[in-house]
Structure 1
Amino acid sequence: MAQTDYNGIMDQTIKKLWEYHEDDKDWKHLKTSGDLVIYQKKSDAFDGILYKIERTMNMSPQRNIDLSFDWKFMETADKGVKSIELIEHIGGPDNLHILRSVSDSAMFGLISAREFITMPGVRHYPEKSLHVLAHVSVDHPKCPEDKKFVRGVIYPSGRFVYEIAGEPNKCRLVEYGQNDPKLSIPRIILDQAVPGIIKAKIDHFNTALEKLDAAEK
């Protein structure tokens, strides 16, 4: 069996994220709450929606990256995640990992728990004061499909983490997300609920971060 070119997959994922980032056409504004702004457009990767989220966080870019690779923290900080399992640390310049995550049920049980096999990584652009965190669904020999779960698919998604001049303990984020949870309910129902789901996930993350900060003092 041919070995999967995970580095090549990450190259293509980051290339696609840059295409989204540089394309300012057809974005529809969905929601503004404080400094949080959410947009959407039709995905070019599947029959669904690509979301763009802009916000500022009170943490340094490096801490944002470090926490994104802290699986124990992310289990508690990501409102939609029940468990995260590290399958393989590939490493390399993009610090690639293979993860198996299981989601909680959502929308009052209308969506049952899902399983995702994803590859997160990070690419640094020091000349731009920028870091790009990317993730995408992949196949892995240690993760055959589990009949107990519906396996969802995450298409090229990620986060542009910008430094803010003169404010080392803040960062500006531009995030792109698109996933197919393989629903048996009409897609339009989920699309209508997504802005509220995104806001709830961010609020949950901020609460988990406050608890972590308090514990570290």
Structure 2
Amino acid sequence: MFLRRLAQTAGAVAAVAFCADTNRPTSQSKFQRQNSSPAQQVKFRSFASEVSGRAQKLLSDDDWKLYQTSKDVKVSHKKSPDHSGEVYRVDLIVDYPVDRVDDVLVALNKRVDWDPDVKNHIIEELGEGITILHATYEVSGLAAKIMSPRDFCRIELIDRHDNGLISMAYDNIEHPGCQPLNGFVRGQMFTSGMFIEPYKDDPKKTHVIFIYQSDAKVYVPAYLVHWTTCRRGFEMADEIKEAIEKDKKQE
């Protein structure tokens, strides 16, 4: 029973890792928008630019180690430059053009809700694709017995590049309107991102790359977190495909 609960907890940590940035923002009374001072906004914009640069550096790194691959999905990992753990990468090819995948995965008010336990709440929109978000993860199942809910505060920058690449980079940040919630443990994110671009062999398809790393502030053996996080990458790829198929039927 203990091992089962431990595995459930590791799975919850992996779910935090792969779902915290993919759900549509919502509005709830306890999450109030709050504008920062002009000086803070300048710092936030500068930091967002730095985060985008670091995320694109991760994207271009050539030292990723392959965990496992399937027909159209590849999960890789490497030593994180930001903390003592790993950073993870999921590559998948979807049979849908970039502009439609943009709506499903990236566009702030359109993106699909992957996980009912994860919610994103807009705290401040700074313009030019920069947003401050308060993300909450409500632990469910057996993991809820030994793991408290988590919350995260992050800055997100969506950028559409001239070469057709669409990037969504994000990182941990402190914001006066994004205070830790009672009953939640504040987790920590590190530079991460999602990237979509036309597939080189068929422009009607899209190459999706998802890079993620975080510290959910829970004690679980590193090997178990690594295994479940890698496996979660394949589950997330399946969820993306399901969301795209659903979007196709709504056209």
TM-score (norm 1): 0.84
The answer to whether the aligner puts 1:116 opposite 2:131 as a matched pair is no
- Name the SS of the counterpart of 2:40 in structure 1: coil
User: For the Cα contact (< 8 Å) 1:36–1:54, is it kept in 2?
Assistant: yes
Change (3 A) 1:45 1:90: same
Equivalent AA in structure 1 for residue 158 of structure 2:
V
Match of 1:103 in 2: 137
Matched position secondary structure for 1:170: strand
- SS of match in other structure, 2:90: strand
Tell me the equivalent position of 1:37. 74
SS class of match (2:135)? strand
Structure 1: where are the runs of 5+ without partners? Answer: none
Q: 2:167 aligns with which of 110, 128, 132?
A: 132
Read off the aligned partner of 1:146 and give its amino acid letter.
Answer: L
Provide the secondary structure at the position in 2 that maps to 1:62.
helix
Q: What is the distance in 2 between the residues matched to 1:177 and 1:162?
A: 18
Q: Deviations over 1:167-216 (max 9, x none)?
A: 454211232211111112223321121111121222223323333433x2
1:107 and 1:186 map into 2 onto residues whose CA distance is 19
Alignment partner, residue 191 of structure 1 = 226
* TM-score between both structures, scaled by the size of structure 2: 0.74
Larger relative CO (CA 8 A, sep 6+): 1 or 2? 2
Pick aligned residue for 1:54 from 83, 91, 102: 91
Paired AA for residue 149 in structure 2: A
Indicate the RMSD between aligned Cα atoms, in angstroms: 2.4
Identity, % of aligned positions: 22
CA–CA distance in structure 2, aligned partners of residues 177 and 73 of structure 1: 18
Number of residues of Structure 1 aligned to a counterpart in Structure 2: 210
Q: Does 1:65 align with 2:65?
A: no
**Which 4+ residue blocks in structure 1 deviate beyond 6 angstroms?**
none
Judge conservation of contact 1:84–1:102 (CA < 8 Å) in 2. Answer: yes
Runs (5+) with no aligned partner, structure 2? 1-36
Aligned match of 2:186: 151
Q: 2:117–2:140: 8 Å Cα contact kept in structure 1? A: no
Contact 2:150-2:186 at 8 Å conserved across structures: yes
The Cα offsets for residues 8-67 of structure 1, whole Å up to 9 and x where unpaired, read as 111111211222223212x22111122110111110101211112211122222233333
